Amino acid sequence: MEDGLIVVKVGGSEGIDYAAVARDAAALWKQGRRLVLVHGGSAETNRIAEALGHPPVFLEHPGGLTSRLTDRKTLEIFEMVYAGKMNKLIVELLQREGVNAVGLSGIDGRVFEGRRKKAVKYIENGKLKVRRDNLTGSVEKVNTELLNLLLGAGYLPVLTPPAISYEGEAMNTDGDTAAAQVAVQMQAEALLLLSNVPGLLRNFPDESSLIAEIPADRVEDFMNFAQGRMKKKVLGAADAVKGGVGRVVFGDARVEAPISKALAGAGTVVR
């Protein structure tokens, strides 16, 4: 399995060193490592949405997860930042390192396909409400044929939300769970979820309370320790290990050689 595919998800929060991610990805790629990158763009989307006078709104769901309210205008801003600015930034960084990267959103070639949520439940002022205008959904089907076509021809795929519904509508989707689906459906050796923390912390935000290892059959028990966006990473990890991915690592994307370090076991390893 040492030459299996590695799926690397790089978050979109503040502090992430994309140049370091690209340098490390290029070094591994040139050693013959097969990689697929998946990235976010949340913090930059918030900034651009504010600047364009359409500030972000987040919905709080029963169970404690939150998500971006995605009306059509938000979706267009989301596409500008994720598929335009962030995706092309990462592709350009890889090209400068001599790697022939190809950036795709989930709607290109239906790379991330799934069911749109027709009704989204959320809590406002303590009351349960429902919205039907939210353009969101979850990835069920990854176009592994297209990814294998590109990998086989020597291209490094760089993937980003949005996803596409079975009816052909663009929709916001969570990048961590999309990356988990890529890892499962591509039968990846490992899934690395890199963000602006060193891993899962027992006492967030105390970085010295890092949880070094989680047994694969106990991932959901550790949900209590997950704060904010880390909740979706833990859910993604649970999906991935259930789906047969050998290991999942929550690693730090603020450091030099972030992919190599996570592969070597730095961060929180789920296996």
Binding site for a copy of itself (CB under 8 A): 48, 51-53, 76, 79-85, 87-89, 91-92, 95-98, 100-105, 107-110, 145-146, 149, 153, 155, 162, 164, 167-170
Q: Would the annotation count 202 as a binding residue?
A: no
Tokens standing for residue 271 = 């296996």
Burial code (b: 16+ CB inside 10 Å, e: under 16) for 194-220 equals: bbbbbbbbeeeeeeeebbeebebeebe
Smallest gap from Cβ 106 to a copy of itself, in A, equals 10
Smallest gap from Cβ 214 to a copy of itself, in A, equals 36
Mapped onto helix, strand or coil, the DSSP state of residue 31 is coil
Smallest gap from Cβ 227 to a copy of itself, in A, equals 30
Smallest gap from Cβ 126 to a copy of itself, in A, equals 36
Nearest to 39 by CA among 194, 190, 150, 259: 194
**81 vs 249 by CB, closer to a copy of itself:** 81
**100 vs 203 by CB, closer to a copy of itself:** 100
**42 vs 105 by CB, closer to a copy of itself:** 105
**68 vs 233 by CB, closer to a copy of itself:** 68
With vertex at residue 38, the alpha carbon angle to CA 37 and CA 44, rounded to the nearest 5 degrees, is: 125
With vertex at residue 104, the alpha carbon angle to CA 100 and CA 109, rounded to the nearest 5 degrees, is: 120
Beta-ladder partners of 42: none
Q: Would the annotation count 247 as a binding residue?
A: no
Task: Measure the CA–CA gap between 1 and 190, rounded to whole angstroms.
Answer: 10
Tokens standing for residue 46 = 């918030």
Smallest gap from Cβ 233 to a copy of itself, in A, equals 25
Task: Measure the CA–CA gap between 136 and 74, rounded to whole angstroms.
Answer: 11
**50 vs 124 by CB, closer to a copy of itself:** 50
Start-to-end C-alpha separation, the chain: 14
Smallest gap from Cβ 22 to a copy of itself, in A, equals 11
**127 vs 153 by CB, closer to a copy of itself:** 153
Mark residue 268 as left, alpha or beta (left: phi above 0; alpha: psi -120 to 50; beta: remaining): beta
Give binding residues for substrate as ranges: 68, 172
Annotated binding site: 68, 172
